[in-house]
Amino acid sequence: MKRAISRSLFYFYRMNSDVLKAPFSSATWCFNGHAHTVLCSLLFSAPPLHSERVVIDTPDDDFLELDIIEKKPGNPVTILFHGLEGHTRRYYVAQLAKKLSERGFTVVLVNFRGCGSKMNRQRRFYHSGEIEDPDTVFRWVRSQFPNSYMFSAGFSLGASALLNYLKEHNTNHPLKAFAAISTPFELKKGCLNLENGFNKIYSIRFLRTLVRKLEEKRNTYPDLPVFNGSTLYDFDDQVTAPLHDFEGADDYYHQCSSYYFMDQIRTNTLVLHSKEDPMCPFRWTPFKEIAENPNITTCFTEKGGHVGFWSLPPGWLNNSVADYFGSFISNGENKAKKAKTSEIAE
């Protein structure tokens, strides 16, 4: 019985075929989710973006580093948020930025605190429930591009943070639509899953840079929490939680896991996830809440990895996100034309 229920859930989703026209066709040499996750970034360099680095202030006397590919005034803007210990030059971020730029979008790529070219000033870093820094970025983008449609996309931790932002702000924000790619819906389960099998390689890499940054910042703040654990869960319990006002890792995970509030998302949202995602397994997706939310469009692929979808022909992920955002621009223009026609007729 359990197997039958589990299998039925795999089909408990909705896909807007008018927006996402091309199904995902996996490259034959990507034999599992790990291959999709790592091969592109291992074999290829991120494309040059010809962007401008801009540093903006935060309300707490810190700063955020943004990379901007600017198009004509009035063109739509998309703001991209990377995953855990990523940055704006990561392959998956740069590829989406390149595609959106080619489609005429101004693209703003955000480095979370401590992920840019230099360490941030305050004690805190960033986390999976971060909502203050996205709000700062969106306000800045609105001030710079006041007449533009605004969209956003988040990868992994970035997707989690933005879903928290959308839950908190309801519809009181400037985004027309959002794309959540490879979201860690269940933060605790996802974190513990990184200690299993091949996933341990990802955990070691994340932990290495997190600990290095912690010790670098200790030069400015000698009283920072001491990390003496060996897992990402330990790091979140000993460092992430106290630095960001959570009682511990379990409190942090419970408050910020989007698994528990996908029914509260009131913004047009594309949820894109692979059934082979090795880091954030598909079985932890809140199927029922997502399926019953009319604001959410889903695309769950049979193949693919974590933020990695090596397709033939190439570029399926980036085209899908660009098509999704583009559909709102087309709809908006059509409505404006109809309204103008009505005015003339009157």
Residue 14 near residue 288 (C-beta atoms within 8 A): no
159's CB contacts (< 8 A; 6+ apart) are 81, 83, 153, 180, 181, 182, 183, 184
**What is the rounded CA–CA span in Å between residue 289 and residue 296?**
10
Longest dimension (CA), the chain: 73
pLDDT at position 43 is 87
Residue 340's φ and ψ, nearest 5 degrees, are -65, -40
Q: Supply 59's token pair.
A: 């309300």
pLDDT at position 44 is 86
Quote helix, strand, coil % in the chain, to nearest 5: 40, 15, 40
Kind of pairing between the strands at 296-301 and 77-81: unpaired
Q: Supply 199's token pair.
A: 């996933």
Q: If you count DSSP H runs as helices and E runs as strands, how many of each does the chain have, helices first?
A: 12, 8
- Length of the chain, please? 346
Q: Supply 312's token pair.
A: 């033939």
pLDDT at position 332 is 62
265's CB contacts (< 8 A; 6+ apart) are 163, 166, 167, 293, 295, 296
pLDDT at position 334 is 54
* Amino acid sitting at position 196: N
**What is the rounded CA–CA span in Å between residue 100 and residue 323?**
10
CA-based nearest residue to 90, from 80, 102, 103:
80
Q: What's 26's DSSP letter?
A: B
One digit per residue, pLDDT tens: the chain, 346 residues?
333 333 333 333 444 445 565 689 999 999 999 999 999 888 888 999 999 999 999 999 999 999 999 999 999 999 999 999 999 999 999 999 999 999 999 999 999 999 999 999 999 999 999 999 999 999 999 999 999 999 999 999 999 999 999 999 999 999 999 999 999 999 999 999 999 999 999 999 999 999 999 999 999 999 999 999 999 999 999 999 999 999 999 999 999 999 999 999 999 999 999 999 999 999 999 999 999 999 999 999 999 999 999 999 999 999 999 999 999 997 765 554 443 333 333 3
Residue 100 near residue 67 (C-beta atoms within 8 A): no
pLDDT at position 330 is 75
**What is the rounded CA–CA span in Å between residue 2 and residue 155?**
31
* Model confidence, pTM: 0.91
* Domain annotation for the chain: domains and CATH numbers: 2-186+263-330 (3.40.50.1820), 189-256 (no CATH)
Residue 129 near residue 162 (C-beta atoms within 8 A): no
